[in-house]
Amino acid sequence: MGKWAIAVHGGAGVDPNLPVQRQEAAKQLLTRCLNLGISALRSNCPSIDVVELVVRELETDPLFNSGRGSALTENGTVEMEASIMDGPKRRCGAVSGLTTVKNPISLARLVMEKSPHSYLAFSGAEEFARQQGVELVDNEYFITEENLGMLKLAKEANSILFDYRIPNGGFETCSAGAAATDSPLQMNGLPISLYAPE
Amino acid sequence: TVGCVVVDQEGRCAAATSTGGLMNKRTGRIGDSPLIGAGTYASNLCGVSCTGEGEAIIRATLARDVAAVMEYKGLCLQEAVDFVIKERLDEGQAGLIAVSKNGEVACGFNANGMFRGCATEDGFMEVGIW
């Protein structure tokens, strides 16, 4: 019998000026999710069940960029994506372009287990979700006031913002606009440097 | 982006990643998170979930590379994580979490911070940002 281990993350690239109380809120969420996973492991749940369980919890809390609290598209909507992989036989499932599925990671698992495919996207993924009977919500469910404010800033700066996931109340964020002219390379009409951070 | 990697008492590894993507992104933009081998990977050796500069993670097949250097270079988990973060990111910024079939847990990042937490059956537990 081996020993279990678990790790979680809530994203890389953090606002260096993140207020202490926001840092504490993030740590509390990470701790809660770790404890959730640890309880499941102590109950002898298999690893594939535990990763889905923990990521569902992270998707439901609006603190990080997934599920509720997801970053917004240029149109002010949410499009989510997720993937899951089971090591022993390298089974995998992935989804992209989701707009109404409350927990994308669970749909990714259903792709892995209930379809002959590995990856479904956009209308095909949404149709599969309806067929599988997963919980569906309006796109507005995923949108938070903080992210609406971040999108507004991004549009004013005409850039794609760094994903400082927990915004300061004053929305003191950086955009990559200042570095926009450093490289002649462009992608989608914008300087490549704008895309550098997630 | 959020993610979780687990190895259970049977030595089975699994990995999962979920995200809303980039703020102000074009509709239809797909990042690294749903791409097996880039943002997520698990095998009989390890489980990996990545986050950060999506396009750099895709170029590096970052998650798969952790497993590959363990297989082909014989590195242990932390050595493999350190290697791919240092050598494979091609000036991009990213981070990852990983577990091995032997009950090890590791993380690495070259960004200024990554929200992360890890725990092992031995009683080790850590939550951090910077």
DSSP chain A: ----EEEEEEEE---TT--HHHHHHHHHHHHHHHHHHHHHHHTT--HHHHHHHHHHHHHHSTTSSSSTT---BTTS---EEEEEEETTTTEEEEEEEESSBS-HHHHHHHHHHHSS-SEEEHHHHHHHHHHHT--B--GGGG--HHHHHHHHHHHHHTSPPP--SS--TT-----GGGGTTS-S-EETTEEGGGGS--
Q: What is the pLDDT, as a whole number, of residue A193?
A: 43
B104 touches chain A (CB under 8 A): yes
| Interface predicted TM-score (ipTM) of this complex, two decimals | 0.98
Mean pLDDT of chain A: 85
Task: Lowest mean pLDDT of A153-162, A173-182, B49-58, name the range.
Answer: A173-182
Interface of B with A in 44-103 (CB under 8 A): 44-47, 49, 51-55, 92-103
- Chain A positions touching B104 (Cβ under 8 A) are 5
> Which two three-digit tokens encode residue A91?
């089974």
Q: Which residues of chain B have pLDDT under 50?
A: none
How far apart, in Å, are the Cα atoms of B5 and each of A122, A160, B43?
26, 29, 12
> Which two three-digit tokens encode residue A16?
């260096």
HSE of A2 in the Cβ direction (CA atoms, 13 Å)?
Answer: 20
CB A161 within 8 A of CB A168: no
Task: Lowest mean pLDDT of A16-30, A155-169, B7-21, name the range.
Answer: A155-169
Q: Identify which of A18, A71, A84 has the shortest CB distance to residue B22.
A: A71
Top-confidence residue, A108 or A184: A108
Q: Say yes or no to pLDDT of A128 above 90.
A: yes
Among B53, B57, B29, residue whose Cα is nearest residue A193: B53
Q: Do A30 and B13 touch (CB under 8 A)?
A: no
Q: Say yes or no to pLDDT of A192 above 70.
A: no
Percent of chain A with pLDDT over 70: 80
CA distance, residue A102 to nearest chain B CA (Å): 12
Q: Say yes or no to pLDDT of A119 above 60.
A: yes
- Chain A positions touching B85 (Cβ under 8 A) are none
Among B77, B122, B86, B111, residue whose Cα is nearest residue A9: B111
> Which two three-digit tokens encode residue B106?
């590791």
B109 touches chain A (CB under 8 A): yes
Beta bridge partners of A187: A190
Q: Say yes or no to pLDDT of A135 above 80.
A: yes
Percent of chain A with pLDDT over 90: 72
Give the C-alpha separation, B75 to B35, whole Å: 24
Which residues, 6 or more positions from B121, have their beta carbon under 8 angstroms from its beta carbon? A3, A4, A5, A41, B9, B103
Q: What is the pLDDT, as a whole number, of residue A187?
A: 44
CB B119 within 8 A of CB A40: no
Q: What is the pLDDT, as a whole number, of residue A164?
A: 47
The verdict on whether B17 is a catalytic residue reads no
Q: Identify which of B17, B44, B49 has the shortest CB distance to residue A87.
A: B44
Give the C-alpha separation, B8 to A125, whole Å: 30
Q: What is the mean pLDDT of residues A142-148?
A: 96
